[in-house]
Amino acid sequence: MKNTDPLAKHPLSAKYQNLFTKFAVNTPLRLAHFFGQAAHESNLKPRVENLNYSVEALLSKFGRHRISEVDARKLGRIRTQLANQEMLANILYGGSWGLKNLGNKTFGDGWKYRGRGIFQITGLSNYWGLTKYVQEVLGLNVDYVENPDLLLNEADSLIAALWYWQMKKLNSYADKDQGLKISRGINIGNPDTEKIPNHAEDRKVKTEKFKKVFS
């Protein structure tokens, strides 16, 4: 008899069936939207954030409240040098902006808690929230605050992505096939913002691909 369980239709969801079931990401639409976003963010592989920004990208992508023109030109990538990624992370994810938006408290937190995993979990508050959840709810003896590189492991990265998905209540948007809201939740952190997420079209294309996989 043909297996009609949607979780069995992709190697990753089949391998971690219990996890996907625990987080209720187990219907064709929920799986399609989750995998579509994950495919765009990291090609379904745990990754660490690349901050090798060019000077031009720093000046256009980030406001002067995040990085000064002087620092952008000193630290950004140019033809003869790579970007100083550690310093950029500490500047871009630090200061009052980093404290308010990411919970980063001290200089160095920006680099230590830069994006990692399938969905690029970023910032001390997210690493702390994830740690609290896995310890208290899942009963796992892990600490992502102390060991952030654990998110480069496949299982930990998937737990983090599913936790973030649940925290942003993205199942409810997947059930309504509201891909743009999900893209906003993943890329901007707020499904209800009016801002346009980065690479919205590619996210949509990849989600449509996974609708066929999980149908």
Both 34 and 68 in one domain: the answer is no
- What pLDDT score was predicted for residue 157? 97
Q: Using CA of residue 158, residue 163, residue 169, residue 171, what is the dihedral sign? A: positive
pTM: 0.93
Cα–Cα distance, 15 to 31 (Å, whole number): 14
- Tell me the CA distances in angstroms from 130 to 10, 55, 67, 118, 207, one per residue in order: 25, 33, 28, 14, 25
Claim to verify: residue 184 and residue 201 sit in the same structural domain: yes
Task: Show which of 112, 141, 161 is a domain's final residue.
Answer: 112
The reply to whether 39 and 13 lie within a common domain is: yes
The boundaries of the domain holding residue 83 are 55-112
Domain for residue 175, yes or no? yes
Q: Is residue 145 part of a domain?
A: no
Establish if 208 belongs to a structural domain: yes
Stretch 8-30: mean pLDDT: 97
Q: 2 pLDDT band (50/70/90 cuts)?
A: low
CA separation for the pair 148, 155 (Å, rounded): 14
pLDDT at 58: 97
Q: pLDDT at position 121, please?
A: 95
With 60 as the cut, is the pLDDT of residue 212 above it? yes
Using CA atoms, how far apart are residues 111 and 121, in angstroms rounded to an integer?
Answer: 12
**pLDDT class for 3, splitting at 50, 70, 90?**
low
Please check whether residue 139 lies inside any domain of the structure: no
Q: How many domains does the chain have?
A: 2
Using 50, 70 and 90 to split pLDDT, how confident is the model at 1?
very low
The pLDDT tens digits of the residues spanning 169-184 come to 999 999 999 999 999 9
What pLDDT sits at residue 29? Answer: 98
Q: CB of 38 within 8 A of CB of 169?
A: no
For 10-30, b/e burial (b = at least 16 CB within 10 A) is bebbeebeebbeebebbebbb
Mean residue pLDDT across the chain: 96
